[in-house]
A and B are shown apart, each in its own frame.
Chain A
Amino acid sequence: NAGVTQTPKFQVLKTGQSMTLQCAQDMNHEYMSWYRQDPGMGLRLIHYSVGAGITDQGEVPNGYNVSRSTTEDFPLRLLSAAPSQTSVYFCASTTGTGPARGQFFGPGTRLTVL
């Protein structure tokens, strides 16, 4: 199993550009989520999905879109990048049947918006 994979690892954008951060998992997990990590702020939930075709907003959804057409994939779209979106982005997945084992995280995408 590859677990949770994220591409790209690094990305530099100019203000106003759009892009998609890719996330895939091969563990057949129903629940997937996107977090951003900023210094001194821990991880904040952007969007999450409890299954294919179902998505919902987290704490900081503005400026981001998601879709979940398959169980495996959960891409995050930045519609019009802003410097405030400079961050490290993590995708995570879990079975959703209990939190005891927590969520599995991908290695992250470091995004810089100039």
Chain B
Amino acid sequence: DQQVKQNSPSLSVQEGRISILNCDYTNSMFDYFLWYKKYPAEGPTFLISISSIKDKNEDGRFTVFLNKSAKHLSLHIVPSQPGDSAVYFCAARLGTSGSRLTFGEGTQLTVNP
């Protein structure tokens, strides 16, 4: 049972435009959502998070939106840069599970110069 899903394996955008990465979840008990970025041959690095009691969190070029009624979150990157090309993972935490995270499959973002 895949509780966190990223339905788009890949996304390609032009430099300077907006990148929108999507994530859907099924468990309404998730209390925190996180985005990680991963370059080849490296471990994932934390990018941005959002609590389930909020609907938006912004950090520089990165904004995460949460729609609880739709069980959907998205990561917006504006403007996109070639260095943003990486795999992006969505992750969610169950409120009762300490720091256990459930990850989506990942989306490969390619930003073309």
Contacts and interface: CB of A to CB of B under 8 A. Distances in A.
Given A31-B98, A96-B98, A99-B32, A105 B44 contact: yes
Give me the 8 closest cross-chain CB pairs, A-B, nearest first.
A105-B43, A102-B46, A42-B103, A43-B103, A99-B32, A42-B105, A31-B99, A105-B44
Nearest to A3: B43
Given A44-B103, A99-B99, A102-B49, A108 B93 contact: no
Contact of A107 (B6, B42, B105): B42
Nearest to B89: A42
B105 A40 contact: yes
Given A101-B49, A105-B45, A96 B105 contact: no
Interface string A51-66: 0000000100000000
A50 to B, nearest CB: 6
Contacts of B4: 42
Interface string A68-105: 00000000000000000000001010101001111111
16 contacts: A31-B98, A33-B100, A43-B44, A45-B102, A48-B98, A50-B98, A96-B99, A99-B99, A100-B32, A100-B49, A102-B46, A102-B49, A103-B99, A105-B43, A105-B44, A107-B41
Contacts of B34: 99, 102
B62 to A, nearest CB: 13
A4 interface: yes
Given A40-B105, A42-B105, A45-B101, A99 B49 contact: yes
Contacts of A33: 99-100
Given A42-B106, A105-B36, A107-B43, 19 more contacts: A4-B43, A31-B99, A42-B89, A42-B104, A45-B101, A45-B102, A48-B98, A48-B99, A94-B99, A96-B99, A99-B93, A101-B46, A101-B49, A102-B46, A103-B46, A104-B46, A105-B44, A106-B43, A108-B43
A108 B89 CA distance: 16
